[in-house]
C-alpha cells in the first residue's frame, strides 16, 4: 500500500500556492450577413492595404495562438468538499484576425491577405468554486467553475502609437469570462500538484466602435468575443 502524503493537508482553513499555465487564446468572430457584398473605394487611411482602386471582403476569420499565464493561489476551505479560490495573475498572449480581400486595380482583380495581430498582456482576477471528490490514496479529482475579470494592459483602444494605428480592429480592454474545468490533485511528499484543463468564455463584445469614424472592416463585424483553453499546473 502506498504511503499517504500530506494526510492533514485538506483540513487547513486556507493555504496558498502558485500556478503555471499554457493557454490557447482566440477570438470568436461573427461577421455581418452582407459583409462580402459591398465594394469599397481605396482611402488613404487604409495603410494596411496596397494602393488599389477598390476592394471587398472574400473572408474574415480568426486564428488561435499560444500564450502562457502565471498566478498566485489563495484557497479558502468552505466544507470538506468545497473550496473558494482566488487566483490573481497575468496572461501573456496574442490573437490574430485574418482579413482576405478581393482587390481591383486598373481593371484587374487580385487578392490580398492582412494578418491583424493583437498582442495582449492581461491582469487576471478569477473567483472560483472548486468541488472535490473523495480523496483516493494520493490523488483527488475535482471540478471547478467561476467568473474571471480580465484587463488588457496593451489594449489598442487607448493607444495611439504607430504600431497600434496599423491594426485594423480595435479591442476594448475589459472582459468577464465564465470558466469551467476539471482536474486532479496529486499529493506529493512536500507539496500538492494540481493538473487541470479549463475553458474560459468571454462574455463581452470586445470590438471597439467609434460610430461614423469606423473603417469598413470594423463595420463588417457584428461581434467579437474571446475564448481561452488552459492547461494549468498548480503547486500548493
Dihedrals φ, ψ of 219, to 5°? -65, -15
Cα-based distances in Å from 55 to 52, 140, 167: 7, 57, 18
What are the residue ranges spanned by the domains of the chain? 12-28+68-94+117-215+225-235
pLDDT (0 to 100) of residue 82: 96
CATH architecture label of 12-28+68-94+117-215+225-235: Beta Barrel (2.40)
Task: For residue 103, give Cα distances in angstroms to 45, 59, 65, 68, 136.
Answer: 16, 13, 28, 38, 63
Say yes or no to pLDDT of 53 above 50. Answer: yes
Average pLDDT over residues 63-79: 94
Q: What's the pLDDT score for residue 163?
A: 43
pLDDT at 211: 63
CA end-to-end span of the chain: 25
Mean pLDDT of 201-228: 83
108 or 228: which leads in pLDDT: 228
- What contacts 136, CB < 8 A, 6 or more positions away? none
The number of residues in the chain equals 236
pLDDT digits (tens, 9 = 90+) for 128-172: 999 999 999 999 999 999 999 999 998 755 554 444 455 677 888
Residue pair 106/73 in contact (Cβ under 8 Å)? The answer is: no
Q: What are phi and psi of 163, to 5 degrees?
A: -60, -50
> In angstroms, rounded to a whole number, what is the distance separating the alpha carbons of residues 200 and 198?
7
Enter the pTM of the model: 0.85
pLDDT of residue 162: 44
Q: Mean pLDDT score of the chain, rounded to an integer?
A: 87
Can you tell me the distance from the alpha carbon of 186 to that of 139, in angstroms, rounded to the nearest whole number? 4
Amino acid at each position: 500500500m502506498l504511503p499517504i502524503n500530506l494526510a492533514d493537508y485538506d483540513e487547513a482553513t486556507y493555504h496558498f500556492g502558485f500556478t503555471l499555465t499554457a493557454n490557447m487564446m482566440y477570438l470568436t468572430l461573427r461577421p455581418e450577413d452582407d459583409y462580402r457584398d459591398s465594394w469599397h473605394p481605396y482611402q488613404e487611411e487604409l495603410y494596411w492595404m496596397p494602393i488599389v482602386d477598390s476592394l471587398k471582403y472574400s473572408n474574415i476569420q480568426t486564428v488561435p495562438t499560444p500564450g502562457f499565464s502565471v498566478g498566485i493561489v489563495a484557497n479558502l476551505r468552505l466544507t470538506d468538499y468545497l473550496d473558494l479560490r482566488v487566483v490573481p495573475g497575468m496572461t501573456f498572449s496574442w490573437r490574430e484576425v485574418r482579413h482576405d480581400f478581393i482587390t481591383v486595380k486598373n481593371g484587374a482583380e487580385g487578392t490580398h491577405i492582412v494578418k491583424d495581430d493583437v498582442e495582449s498582456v492581461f491582469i487576471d482576477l478569477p473567483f472560483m468554486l472548486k468541488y472535490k471528490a473523495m480523496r483516493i490514496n494520493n490523488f483527488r479529482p475535482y471540478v471547478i467553475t467561476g467568473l474571471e475579470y480580465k484587463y488588457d494592459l496593451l489594449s489598442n483602444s487607448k493607444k495611439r502609437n504607430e504600431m497600434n494605428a496599423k491594426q485594423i480592429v480595435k479591442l476594448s480592454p475589459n472582459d468577464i469570462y465564465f470558466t469551467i474545468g476539471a482536474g486532479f490533485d496529486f499529493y506529493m511528499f512536500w507539496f500538492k500538484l494540481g493538473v487541470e484543463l479549463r475553458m474560459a468564455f468571454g462574455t463581452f463584445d470586445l470590438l471597439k466602435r467609434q460610430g461614423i469614424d469606423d473603417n469598413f472592416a470594423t463595420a463588417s463585424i457584428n461581434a467579437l468575443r474571446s475564448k481561452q483553453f488552459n492547461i494549468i499546473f498548480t503547486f500548493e
